[in-house]
Amino acid sequence: MEVNFQIYHYWRSKCAMKGVKMATVLKTDMHCEKCVERIEKAMAKAELDAAVCLADKTVTINGCQNCVAKAKEILDDLGFEVSEA
């Protein structure tokens, strides 16, 4: 997984300046605690504010649409199918 952090930080700063923040719930096909661990690690590495719930098979992203798009890309790179809940 290759992340272009320069572009990510640019958009993150643009969102912060505008005060844009919202929660988006993404549905995934995770199956176990190892899946949760992989997702949490990848989201933290990308500095995304995310909460992962195995019981509901969801990832909640607190951020702008660019953050959500980045989270979807990360989940896809990890091999998970993603849809908005």
pLDDT digits (tens, 9 = 90+) for 8-37: 555 555 555 555 567 889 999 999 999 999
CATH fold for domain 5-84? Alpha-Beta Plaits (3.30.70)
52 backbone dihedrals φ, ψ, rounded to 5°: -110, 130
Reported as a pLDDT band with limits 50, 70 and 90, residue 1 is very low
Backbone phi, psi, residue 48, to 5°: -95, 145
The string of DSSP letters for 15-31 reads HHHHT--EEEEEEE---
Structure tokens at 25: 């719930």
Sequence ranges of the domains in the chain = 5-84
pTM: 0.74
pLDDT digits (tens, 9 = 90+) for 31-67: 999 999 999 999 999 999 999 999 999 999 999 889 9
